[in-house]
């Protein structure tokens, strides 16, 4: 179930349907709901701050819900609180600020995302660094996609000892025209390979700068 069909909620609904996941999509705007009627399992116009209206739609029986309301903070918070009161086991919620995220967590959201903030951080790392992609997890742990440094080319990962030198782990390697494969100690790095490297943010960024 997705509540709020703005850019974030709409994109999420479309992607979930592409993955063959049934989606109940809810929004207060009839025209928006009409636009998704043929693209999701079921779409309905509803005021998500109305507990009786949500219950009539069977919202309390859903195992997962996403509150994708971004512009109306009061509706976002009240909706999340209602879902928590219904006992929905997994609630994801979109926040537009750290303060908003904190409130959503306090009223019952199990997972909170800040799409604009998270994308801004990601792009900032890509702009100033040499990595081709960047994903940050909890506790300052990251995975980056980067080209191999010259010292690793033509050598196996055990020979170049990248892990001990730079405190990173080469997780996977992609060769032109092929998919990603798991890296092993015997994997020989080629100059046109792409590496997926994991480790602390400072270490993965330092390693990417070697390319």
| Chain mean position to CA 134 | 12
Q: What is the pLDDT of residue 135?
A: 80
Average pLDDT over all residues of the chain: 90
CATH code for position 81: 3.40.50.720
- Go through 125-158 and write b for each residue having 16 or more CB atoms within 10 A of its CB, e for each that does not: bbeebebeebebeeeeebbbbbbbbeebeeeebe
Closest CA to 117 of 143, 146, 94: 94
Please check the confidence at residue 123 and state whether its pLDDT lies above 90.
no
CA 74 and chain centroid, separation: 24
Last residue of a domain, one of 63, 94, 113: 113
Residues 150-201 have pLDDT tens digits of: 999 999 999 999 999 999 999 999 999 998 999 999 999 999 999 999 999 8
Angle at 48 between CA 46 and CA 50, to 5 degrees: 95
Q: Give the total number of structural domains in the chain.
A: 2
Residues 199 and 103 in one domain: no
Helix boundaries (H) for the chain: 7-18, 30-36, 51-56, 73-86, 98-107, 115-128, 157-160, 162-166, 201-208
**Is residue 95 domain-shared with residue 10, that is, in the same domain?**
yes
Whole domain around residue 33: which residue ranges? 2-113
Last residue of a domain, one of 62, 86, 113: 113
């Amino acid at each position: 179930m997705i509540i709020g069909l703005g850019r974030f909620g709409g994109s999420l609904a479309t992607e979930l349907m592409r993955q063959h996941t049934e989606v109940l999509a809810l929004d207060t705007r009839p025209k928006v709901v009409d636009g998704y009627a043929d693209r999701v399992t079921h779409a309905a116009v509803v005021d998500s701050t109305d507990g009786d209206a949500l219950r009539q739609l069977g919202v309390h029986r859903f195992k997962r819900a996403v509150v994708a309301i971004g512009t109306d903070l009061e509706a976002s918070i009240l909706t999340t609180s209602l879902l928590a009161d219904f006992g929905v086991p997994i609630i994801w919620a979109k926040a537009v600020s750290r303060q908003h995220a904190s409130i959503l967590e306090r009223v019952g959201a199990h997972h909170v995302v800040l799409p604009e903030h998270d994308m801004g951080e990601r792009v900032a790392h890509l702009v100033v660094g040499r990595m081709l992609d960047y994903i940050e997890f909890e506790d300052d742990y990251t995975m980056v996609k980067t080209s191999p440094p010259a010292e690793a080319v033509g050598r196996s990962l055990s020979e170049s000892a990248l892990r001990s030198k730079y405190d990173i782990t080469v997780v996977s390697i992609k060769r032109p025209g092929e998919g990603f494969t798991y890296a092993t100690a015997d994997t020989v790095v080629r100059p046109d390979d792409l590496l997926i490297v994991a480790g602390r943010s400072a270490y993965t960024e330092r390693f990417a700068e070697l390319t």
